[in-house]
Amino acid sequence: MTVRGAGIFGLACAHACATRGARVRVIDRAGIAAGASGGVVGALAPHTPDAWNAKTAFQLVALLEAEAYWAGVDARSGISSGYARLGRLQPVADDRALSLARAREASAAGLWQGRAEWRVVRAKAGWGPVSPTGWLIHDTLSARIAPRAACHSLAGAIRDLGGEIVIGEGAEAGAVIDATGHDGLAALAADTGRPAGTGVKGQAAVFGLDRRDAPQVFADGVHIVPHADGTVAVGSTSETEFADPTATDALLDDVIARAVAYCPELAGAPVLARWAGVRPRARSRAPMLGPWPGRPGRYIANGGFKIGLAMAPACAGLLADLVLEGRDAIPEAFRVEASL
């Protein structure tokens, strides 16, 4: 079988199929993690534990299974994905937000099955966001990963399982999974004559500051994520209109300024890198999985957008069930038809 696309969705699908004994070829014109999956932020974070639906329930399972999943992939490849479940801190803005945070503390106790916590805690000196109320939300479900390293770890595991990674052009054989990001969304729309989604540009930056064992921060719409290599990534923008998909500009400068305002420890740290790329957002805003309409033997794995890194392994399992075994357990909200 063939997987088109060596980003997180394509590699996760190839890995899921290879572990079940399929002979897999991954083809990508530009290389491993050459697109959105080559980003720098790597925040694996849950939605708030209140408005519960199939998407949030599925995300919970994906986040809870991530530690064992990445440990297995890294052990097989010999490459570290940078995964660590270190939690997340968020500032509480005012009394209304504090009441809401406490209500979610109670709902998380049930919805998260006692396997993670959402707690309201006092802010302390040191690493963490500035909070107007002196209170923070601390969840223990959030994790971090190094996106590009995670993709290379998956690629190494696929090769160890007998799979092939082709950079450039390659012949397709057997069933085909298309996981080509925003280009794939455009191709699907052109093929069906219906809008499927769009590409959303994101810009992010990397600071030289070693807080590798600290929790990530989410404040004012900005993710601030310490990584194992002694850096802190911050991001990102969400741009639906842009001229250059890989250029960084004043919008990133604003993200950097907001990150420093909430985490003053970043103020003296150098900015080591600036990154921009285009993430695939399905029209339904959920992952898009299932058969390509009207094209037997061809399937779609797309639309990860901001939650793709967290959801890819679990989504890949669903697609492997369908492609290899004919078992269709894809949630209605994730079906291709939901975005067309």
75's torsion region: left (phi>0), alpha (psi -120 to 50) or beta?
A: alpha
Instruction: Indicate whether 52 pLDDT > 90.
Output: no
pLDDT beyond 90 at 54: no
Nearest CA among 330, 292, 38 for reference residue 178:
292
Dig out the tokens for 163 from the structure.
Answer: 């799979």
Average pLDDT of the chain?
A: 96
Q: How do residues 220-250 score in pLDDT, each as one tens digit?
A: 999 999 999 999 999 999 999 999 999 999 9
pLDDT of residue 85: 98
pLDDT at 1: 97
Whether this prediction's pTM lies above 0.85 is answered by yes
Q: Which residue stretches of 78-167 are H helix?
A: 95-111, 147-160
- pLDDT of 82-130, one tens digit each? 999 999 999 999 999 999 999 999 999 999 999 999 999 999 989 999 9
Which tokens is 97 given? Answer: 């937000």
Q: Which domains does the chain have, with CATH numbers?
A: 2-339 (3.50.50.60)
- 250 by Cβ neighbours in 10 Å (0-12 / 13-18 / 19+) ranks as exposed
Is the pLDDT confidence value at 272 over 90?
Answer: yes
pLDDT for 51 beyond 90: no
What's the pLDDT score for residue 127? 95
Confidence at 302, pLDDT banded by 50, 70, 90: very high
Question: Which of 72, 240, 216 minimizes the C-alpha distance to 144?
Answer: 216
Per-residue pLDDT of 182-209, as tens digits, reads: 999 999 999 999 999 999 999 999 999 9
* Whole-number pLDDT of residue 275: 98
Mean pLDDT of 319-328: 97
**Residue 299 amino acid letter:** Y
The C-alpha atoms of residue 252 and residue 275 are separated, in whole angstroms, by 9
User: What band does 154 get if pLDDT is binned at 50, 70 and 90?
Assistant: very high
